[in-house]
Amino acid sequence: MDAEKRIAELKEKINQYDYEYHVLDDPTISDVEYDKLLNELTQLEEDHPQYKRDDSPTQRVGGKVLDGFTKVEHSIPMMSLANAFDESDLRAFDERVRKYVDDYSYVVEAKVDGLAASLIYEEGKLVRAATRGNGQVGEDITHNARTIKSVPLSLNKAVSLEVRGEIFMNRAAFMALNEKRAKAEEPLFKNPRNAAAGSVRQLDSKIAASRSLDMFIYSLVERDDEVTMTQSETIDYLKDLGFKTNPYQCFDSIDEVVEASIAIEKNRHDYKYEIDGAVVKVNQKPLYKTIGYTAKSPKWAIAYKFKAEEVATTINAIKYQVGRTGQITPVAVLEPVEIQGSTVSRATLHNDRYILDKDIRVGDDVLIRKAGDIIPEVVAVIEERRDMQEPFTMISHCPKCDTPLKRTESKADLYCDNPSCPAKKVEALIHFASRKAMNIEGLGNRIIELFYNEGYLQDIRDIYTLQEHKDVLVTRAGFGQKSIEKLLKHIESSKSNSAELLLFGLGIRYVGEKVSRVLAMHYGSLFDMIECKIEDLRAIDEVGDKIAQSVEAYFSNEENIALLRDLHDQGVNMKYKGHVNQSGIFTDKTIVLTGKLEHFTRDEARERIEAEGGKVTSSVSKKTDFVLAGEDAGSKLTKAQELGVDVLTEEDFINRLESK
């Protein structure tokens, strides 16, 4: 047999053995026999490199080393799931679904505690893998995904598609990895999720290849108007293509869903990998478009999160953090304790009212848990263990600048209103560079604090002038030419971010991720927000009185306007660059909603317009293309008629959508 045919034969055999072992968990060949075949293939490819292909099993061993990770924009955002924490939350979810559709069922599966990633195949070949990142933009991890043996390098059919799933490390692999690290006197990983995340983000793929990573695929990426299969049919189809999929169950009623979710929680320790909940999805995917989405998550799915484990420990001290807005947050310094796979030594105490209500004192033994499996919090004091601890007294002055503290309007929180407070400045810089804001990789808390103390960073503008200090920074211990160049590259890259990330990064009070996106979409540019008025802001969905007042106050401040102009002069983008449908029926059209719609809520109508490339604004002007008028339409309809703006009835609107 010639070399080309033998290589093809070996590839087919080894791929089948990999599938049986890593996907079906049913090996049909011994390790010795497998290694013999792999060694033969490796030697043949070395002798005949013209026949070596990227989908060869020999390419899983790693060896590719990157200088850094490339950013990848997702074609369709990778959304997160809303959470349910008990039976009532699951039933409430079902009631919300029932408001939109009548005939549906559910798919339930265990929620793997790993990290989400996407895989793209062209004509059946793996061409790209990416992390979730912030949902809009992730990082290219193709070189590491190729080393995961449950990830097919080539599919059973030559199809082009994108799938998403969870990369994880099973318990046995995690324990073996930590044993190896312990022998090498290296730091141990806290839990399998951290180990998997750290492995996926290695620049050297040989390291990832040595970590025994695994991956379940749980979705096929499709536009809602393209779907034909149910979720269960989709999973079966993906399995037929060669993907490893998580076992699922189908149910017709929410009662069965509740029972199944509780059973998964009860048996969570029987799984070979860590799970932190159950995922519940409507099975009929063609209904997803009708059920819809929020800004962050689909309305047709929910994650039932397991109850947090509670652990006893001691409060050794109470310290205070100063946030970017000046809010003072008490923090409990705990006797370190293991909880859900990680060591916890600090827990937020929120504010003095929270402490006094629970009568928490330094020296108390307390029960702690991770709220939402993430943030450590004090649940209760173990009063029977209390001795002679002194009652808690809140501080009256800022712990960083000694300014007298003031109460918020709600009286719940204390804050420092000194604009020159160093703690506020540092926190503002940290927030601006954080992953959910400008996402400047390499500019973390420690470096920001160091650069602030040394005078290189005093406000946001200084981030974009760090290039001027490059010659000095590269001489600092722990940095060097390569790391500084990488940091400066990420800073330069952040200039092209869409405006909602900048808006969130500015740290305007009450303006979170979701509201930042809503405002950026509404105005199109941060400069267009300079003239914003409270009454116009209030008319925007998701914007209440507090947010409107805060936003108007921010854009009425000349110092803030000067900051925006300076950032613009430094090359920072001020315009919204989000996903806009360039071929939609409302592409580049500005639409105003007024009156009560029969078949849509305001949010649903806005989502449909934006999905078709349109922009929804709150006030009618000569720039308005259409006014969508429902019942009891008022002054906006009158103004539209005066200006000659086209008016759509709800029936017109539906007809346009259906014609598409």
156-163 mean pLDDT: 94
Q: For the domain that residue 372 is a member of, what is the CATH number?
A: 2.40.50.140
* Domain end (from 354, 381, 415): 415
Q: For the domain that residue 621 is a member of, what is the CATH number?
A: 3.40.50.10190
Number of structural domains found in the chain: 6
Between CA 206 and CA 194 the distance in angstroms is 18
Band of residue 117 on the pLDDT scale cut at 50, 70, 90? very high
136 in the same domain as 201? yes
Q: Is 613 helix (H, G, I), strand (E, B) or coil?
A: coil
Beta 125-131 vs 115-122: how paired, if at all?
A: antiparallel
Q: What is the pLDDT of residue 619?
A: 77
402 in the same domain as 430? no
Q: Which residues of 394-407 are buried (b: 16+ CB within 10 A; e: fewer)?
A: eeeebebeeeebee
100-104, 235-239, 648-652: which has the minimum mean pLDDT? 648-652
**What is the per-residue pLDDT across 335-346, written as a single tens digit (0 to 9) for each?**
999 886 678 899
367 pLDDT exceeds 70? yes
Q: What is the pLDDT of residue 582?
A: 67
Closest C-alpha among 327, 565, 559, 566 to residue 431: 327
Q: What is the residue range of 28's domain?
A: 3-61
159 pLDDT exceeds 70? yes
Q: Could you tell me which residues come within 8 angstroms of residue 217 by beta carbon, excluding any fewer than 6 positions away? A: 119, 163, 164, 165, 238, 243, 244, 245
Between CA 455 and CA 469 the distance in angstroms is 11
262 lies in a domain?
Answer: yes
339 in the same domain as 322? yes
Between CA 199 and CA 139 the distance in angstroms is 14
Q: Is 111 a catalytic residue?
A: yes
Query: Residue 245 carries which side chain, given as an amino acid letter?
Result: T
298 in the same domain as 209? yes
Beta 301-305 vs 275-282: how paired, if at all?
A: antiparallel
Q: What is the pLDDT of residue 568?
A: 96
178 in the same domain as 286? yes
452 lies in a domain?
Answer: yes
583 lies in a domain?
Answer: no
89 lies in a domain?
Answer: yes
Per DSSP, the residues of 64-100 read: -B-SSPPEEE-SS--PPPPEE-SHHHHHHHHHHHHTT
**What is the per-residue pLDDT across 544-577, written as a single tens digit (0 to 9) for each?**
888 999 999 999 999 999 999 999 999 999 999 8
Q: For the domain that residue 480 is a member of, what is the CATH number?
A: 1.10.150.20
Between CA 522 and CA 326 the distance in angstroms is 29
Q: For the domain that residue 249 is a member of, what is the CATH number?
A: 3.30.470.30
Query: Residue 327 carries which side chain, given as an amino acid letter?
Result: Q
237 in the same domain as 151? yes
Per DSSP, the residues of 330-398 read: EEEEEEEEEETTEEEEEEE--SHHHHHHHT--TT-EEEEEEETTTEEEEEEE-GGG--SPPPP---SB-
CA dihedral 621, 627, 632, 636 (to 10 degrees): 0
Eight-class DSSP state of 29: S
288 in the same domain as 248? yes
* Domain end (from 367, 397, 415): 415
- Report the mean per-residue pLDDT for the chain: 87
Phi-psi bin for 555: left (phi > 0), alpha (psi -120 to 50), beta?
alpha
Angle at 596 between CA 591 and CA 600, to 5 degrees: 75
Between CA 238 and CA 156 the distance in angstroms is 10
372 pLDDT exceeds 60? no
Band of residue 98 on the pLDDT scale cut at 50, 70, 90? very high
607-634 mean pLDDT: 83
294 in the same domain as 264? yes
Determine if the pTM surpasses 0.75: no
Q: What is the pLDDT of residue 637?
A: 87
Among the options 111, 149, 244, 305, which is catalytic? 111
210-237 mean pLDDT: 92
Closest C-alpha among 605, 611, 640, 635 to residue 623: 640
235 lies in a domain?
Answer: yes
**What is the per-residue pLDDT across 428-469, written as a single tens digit (0 to 9) for each?**
999 999 988 999 998 989 899 989 988 999 999 999 999 999
412: number of Cβ within 10 Å: 13
473 lies in a domain?
Answer: yes
Between CA 352 and CA 276 the distance in angstroms is 32
Angle at 226 between CA 222 and CA 229, to 5 degrees: 80
Task: Look up tokens 């990488």; give the residue.
Answer: 486
520 in the same domain as 391? no
639 in the same domain as 603? yes
H-helix or E-strand spanning residue 568: helix 558-569
Between CA 578 and CA 279 the distance in angstroms is 28
**What is the per-residue pLDDT across 279-296, written as a single tens digit (0 to 9) for each?**
999 999 999 999 988 777
365-379 mean pLDDT: 80
Between CA 49 and CA 45 the distance in angstroms is 5
64 pLDDT exceeds 70? no
Report in angstroms the alpha-carbon separations of 360 from 175, 237, 393: 37, 55, 10
362-371 mean pLDDT: 88
582 lies in a domain?
Answer: no
| Long-range contacts from 194-198, C-beta under 8 angstroms, 24+ separation | 194/342, 195/169, 196/114, 196/115, 196/167, 196/168, 196/169, 197/115
242 in the same domain as 96? yes
327 pLDDT exceeds 60? yes
Between CA 52 and CA 3 the distance in angstroms is 11
521 in the same domain as 460? no
**What is the per-residue pLDDT across 7-34, written as a single tens digit (0 to 9) for each?**
777 877 777 777 776 666 667 777 667 7
Angle at 120 between CA 117 and CA 123, to 5 degrees: 160
Q: For the domain that residue 10 is a member of, what is the CATH number?
A: 1.10.287.610
576 lies in a domain?
Answer: no
306-310 mean pLDDT: 81
